[in-house]
Amino acid sequence: MPRTLFIKTPFKNCSIKNILCKYFYCFCIIFLFYVKHYIIMEQFTFALNNKITKNGIFSALEKLYPVHCPPVIVCIGTDGVAGDSLGPFIGTILKERKVNAYVYGNLNKPITAYEVPYLNSFLNGVHSDSKIIVIDSAVGNAEETGLIKITDSGIKPGLGAKKNLPLVGDISIIGIVAPKSKNATEQLKSTRLRLIYEMANVIADGIEDFIAYYWQTREERKKMFYGISKIKTVAK
C-alpha cells in the first residue's frame, strides 16, 4: 500500500500533494490578477488622417467610461517642447470650447513632470469617485507616428524619456508624435507643430462629442428614473 507523507502545516492532515495543489491554486489566482490588470486590456488605435477617427475616439470613450462618473480629463505635457505639447494643446481647446468636464492641464497651466508626483493624491482627494482620462504624447515605432491609441489603463508619463514617474489615470489617450530614438527628448523637440495641432483638434473633437453624449445620457437616465418613481407613486 503506497504511503502518503503528512507534515505539520496550518492545515490539518495535509499531504504534500494537497499542499502543492493549494500553492498552485494560490499561484493561479495571483497570475489571473496580473493577467487581468496588465495583459488583457482593451486598446483602440486610430490613424490621424482617417476621416472616422473622431467618431472612433467617441466610440472608444463611450465603451470605456462609466455613465455614473463625472468626466475628469488630465492633459499632461509642456509647451516648452513641441512634441510634448499635445496634452496642453488639447486642454486649451477643451477649455476654449467650454466643455462640461473637469479639465486639468493647458498651455497656460501645464502639468509637467514636476507636478506628476503630486497629481495622484490630488485626484484621489478631489475626484475619488471618477474615472480619470489622461492624455499625453509618446514616441513609438517609425510606422506608428500619427497614430492615436486609447486604452483602459493609466500611463506612466515620461517613460520614453526614461523618467520614473507614478502611474496616472484609468483611461489613456496617447498620441504617437515621433519615432523612438536614443535621445527621445531631442526627437520630441524636432516634432512638427502641424502634427501636434492636427492631432490635438481631432482628439478634442472626439472628446467634446463624448462629453455631450455623456450628459445627454445622464439626463435621459434621470428622466427614466423619475418617470418610474412617479409611476410607483401613482400606483400606491
Structure confidence by residue, pLDDT tens digits, 133-191: 999 999 999 899 999 999 999 998 877 666 778 899 999 999 999 988 877 777 788 88
Taking Cα atoms as reference points, which of 154, 149, 148 lies closest to residue 171? Answer: 154
Q: What is the largest CA-CA distance in the chain?
A: 82
DSSP string for the chain: -----EE--SSTTEEHHHHHHHHHHHHHHHHHHHIIIIIS--EEEEETT-TTHHHHHHHHHHHHS-TTSPPEEEEB--TTSGGG-HHHHHHHHHHHTT-SSEEE--SSS-B-TTTHHHHHHHHHHH-TTSPEEEEEEEEE-GGGTTEEEEESS-B-TTTTTT-----B-SEEEEEEEEE--S-HHHHHHTS-HHHHHHHHHHHHHHHHHHHHHHHHHHHHHHHHHHHHHHHHHHH-
Structure confidence by residue, pLDDT tens digits, 7-38: 444 545 455 556 565 566 556 555 555 444 44
Cα–Cα dist 132/65, whole Å? 9
pTM beyond 0.85: no
Q: What is the pLDDT of residue 173?
A: 98
Structural domains in the chain plus CATH codes: 42-218 (3.40.50.1450)
Q: Which residue has the higher pLDDT, 24 or 77?
A: 77
Backbone angles phi, psi at 15, to 5 degrees: -80, 165
Structure confidence by residue, pLDDT tens digits, 181-199: 877 777 788 889 999 999 9
Q: What is the pLDDT of residue 114?
A: 84
Q: Which of 29-38, 89-98, 124-133 comes out lowest in average pLDDT?
A: 29-38
